[in-house]
Chains A and B, each alone.
Chain A
């Protein structure tokens, strides 16, 4: 106990505090702010005025390019600042930067479905350089499957080079399916069509406990894979919307019953596409197979370690006998900004990271399972070594086997809108089928897809004829 009025140090502090008009709270906040400020003063951010700036949204990409940037400095004496940016932030920042015409990075990676949004407007005023001349000059065009460029080509100009192909295979629980098929004298490779697949595995189905395939029906992800496998798409090569054509109607009419049929006729289910419950469902055998682009195989490896040695991949069963055994999902492009100070230098770095040595791509494949579109690299041993996680399969060979058949994906500035409309249509078709069954379902699907597409067409009709103006 301090006697009152004695001028001790704590007493002085207390009195000073009492006299201060603002009280303790701001003092506390100011003190932490000050300490943090001092810390930042002592550890200043290194000045990164590099010759090239690059925005990247994937952590693994960023690591790889950082290493490449170090080699680039050694080779050319030019520096590259690789900035890792959250996926959504890339779109926001690039949009703001392009619009304000300031602070645009020299190189930027963009996710496939967002790319088209950046290709609107007059050709000569789009924020990205046409890379076709570079691709032709350096003879890269024939090293890359043509379909890989489709999404980034608009009115003949190539605004981005593809980082990947992302073929889709079927990843399945070999520990459950293979013994079952073996007892019946079959192998997974014998199931050539989806009909075969669901018919032959029927005995494994246990409603509410075990489904034959993971198909998400809350968004268009799985639907797009099936759609492209059948040769359809949201947009056609000429920028025309085709999400309501016969192929789309047939795909929808086929897919929805798989997840919406009652009782034991329902063969597929989903627990979400991205969060941990997807992996959990796979681990617990709630579904025993999943559509698997190359990048997803690496996610499964990371987040479902328990499945080590229990999974295999096979080509997708075809929609019809002799049909396509793969599809396509996702992707990343690299673009060079029109405002780049030194496009030639930017291209050199782009070439170094996208079309570098086979070993470099092999390393990428070992860490990410992502197959490069650069054919020259496919001979690297990394693609041909057995993977214990995948029951000893040579994972790379599996993806390479279908790589040339991957269907092209066509982008558009109206893709986000069309995708949103498609999501809606899927959900409506699902509930319609649940309530009315197969009765008149196809007619409903056609009408629903058409109304969704018409909505997007109305939006597209507002688009000014950019190139005609001036």
Chain B
């Protein structure tokens, strides 16, 4: 008897997910894939174009601008955010630091703001001449206070990466901190006895110890960065910023679908992005060799 229930049980337990996926996943997905083969305008105006949306997309300079911006953001986020989170986690993981809980709470607190509210906040903080950031840079380093962070093309991405850094560093730090605490302390002792320096310890004990978490965070951050939309859109006052410097792929999808009115082209953008992210995640997993040892 138990054996039989044990056989059907997993299906029952997964039923809610499967059901919910079939209704709220599969149907809209199919519908949206079909849409991507049409030029559309309104409910009854659909014009079948086959793969033309995708072909046009590949030659659409705006799409490539969006890809470039999004990739810059993803790269900037991953390369700055993750080392910083790891560094903070390492500092906080030292046994001789007091008030670790307080620091942990403080570092995590920006994340509690959520991105809608953070965007509203930073829109004001980044204002030229009177904004907090410029005022601070002026007072501390004597920099000019007229920097137009959100309306100078070359500064838009740095500003976005900075806000994302503020928002998410603490969150990733918590992952790393958790991972660090799980690294076996005896390994460090053994390494110390072997005469390994701090750097060698970090390289040979810490990194291998947190590797699964590291990979998990890298992949997740990449996926998240590639879907950047609301933060940039709200921060740039519902626009793609000067010279489209803040145009992301999802924003381009939104502009085409909800402002331009062609949901077909928008769908083609969306599915191209999904494919890109999938490939990217697979490459990341392959490079780190996760696939091979996954259980």
Contact = CB atoms under 8 A, between A and B. Distances in A.
A and B in contact, CB less than 8 Å: yes
Interface of A: 87-88, 91-92, 95, 98-101, 114, 117-118, 120-122, 125-127, 208, 216-219, 270-272, 274-277, 280-281, 286, 413-414, 416-417, 420, 423-424, 427-428, 431, 455, 462-464, 466, 469
B47 A417 contact: no
B241 to A, nearest CB: 8
5 contacts: A219-B151, A271-B129, A277-B128, A281-B129, A464-B47
A24 B237 CA distance: 40
Contacts of A413: 41, 260-261
B275 interface: no
Given A88-B238, A121-B41, A208-B146, A216 B255 contact: no
B263 interface: yes
Q: Name the residue among B39, B52, B242 with the largest chain A CB count within 10 angstroms.
A: B242
B129 A120 contact: no
Contact of B130 (A122, A125, A280): A280
A218 B43 contact: no
A420 B244 contact: yes
B159 to A, nearest CB: 13
A344 to B, nearest CB: 23
A262 B287 CA distance: 51
B239 interface: yes
Interface of A is mostly: helix
A88 B236 CA distance: 14
B205 interface: no
Interface string B144-159: 0010101111000000
B240 A420 contact: yes
Contacts, number: 122
B61 A218 contact: no
B148 A218 contact: yes
Interface in B244-280: 244, 247, 255, 257-263
Contact of A91 (B153, B243, B247, B258): B258
A109 B262 CA distance: 20
B56 interface: yes
A264 to B, nearest CB: 16
B96 interface: no
B42 interface: yes
Contacts of B241: 218
The 4 closest A-B pairs by CB, nearest first: A218-B151, A121-B45, A121-B41, A427-B243
Given A120-B261, A121-B42, A275 B148 contact: no
Nearest to A465: B47
Contacts of A99: 40, 42-43, 263
Contacts of A420: 62, 240, 244, 247, 255
Contacts of B238: 87-88
